[in-house]
């Protein structure tokens, strides 16, 4: 960075942007993608693409799977794994996180000049702190002012510690 951008300038910039978000920003809800994984309670048969219906629990058993803890289903007289219903794979619920953003609704004309194009009825440009990059990148939906929108692009904008995220989201197809 140049000699003019010192720690004081960086601090003033970040403080000002954070204050703007607090004063005029609103929370958006980021909806993470559902995660498919192998069943932690039984084995998976890749040839039949289903459970082998043998009790083979992971150790340690993951804490994000319901019901918690392994279930020895053959010992209880069950023929199918109760966790995956004999499929060998489970889908974990999508996560939801709230992030404070600056929100700019875009007109159709403005949206046409961005990655949103003419594809959506409702268009937004969001600005968020760079620390949320992974959260936005690993999600495909965001709820803005009650509208569920697709996340079209997530781009870091700025230099070094002055970087913010620019997110384009559209909905209402």
- pLDDT of 119 reads 83
- pLDDT of 126 reads 96
The residues, any chain, with a CB within 8 Å of residue 140's CB and separated by 6 or more, are 31, 33, 150, 151
- pLDDT of 173 reads 61
Where along the chain do the CATH 2.40.10 domains lie?
7-33+94-171
- b/e sequence 111-150, b meaning 16+ C-beta within 10 Å: beeeebeeebebbbbbbbbeebbebbeebbbbbbeebebe
**The CATH number of domain 7-33+94-171, selected from 2.60.120, 3.40.50, 2.40.10, 3.40.190:** 2.40.10
Quick: pLDDT tens for 15-40: 998 898 999 999 999 998 888 889 99
Read off the pLDDT band of 5 (50, 70, 90). Answer: confident
Helix/strand/coil for 8: helix
Write out the two tokens for 110. Answer: 């403005």
Q: Provide the whole-model pTM.
A: 0.68
């Amino acid at each position: 960075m140049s000699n003019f951008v010192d720690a004081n300038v960086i601090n003033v910039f970040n403080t000002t942007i954070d204050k703007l978000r607090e004063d005029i920003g609103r929370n958006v809800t980021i909806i993470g993608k559902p995660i498919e994984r192998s069943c932690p309670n039984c084995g998976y048969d890749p040839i039949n693409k289903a459970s082998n219906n043998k009790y083979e629990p992971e150790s340690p058993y993951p804490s994000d799977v319901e019901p918690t803890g392994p279930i020895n289903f053959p010992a209880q007289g069950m023929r199918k794994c109760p966790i995956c219903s004999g499929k060998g794979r489970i889908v974990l619920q999508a996560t939801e996180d709230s992030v404070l953003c600056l929100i700019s609704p875009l007109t159709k004309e403005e949206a046409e000049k961005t990655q949103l194009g003419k594809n959506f009825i409702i268009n937004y440009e969001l600005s968020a702190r760079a620390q949320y990059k992974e959260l936005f990148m690993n999600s495909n939906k965001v709820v803005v002012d009650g509208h569920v929108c697709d996340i079209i692009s997530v781009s870091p904008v700025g230099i070094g510690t002055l970087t913010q995220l620019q997110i384009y989201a559209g909905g209402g197809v």
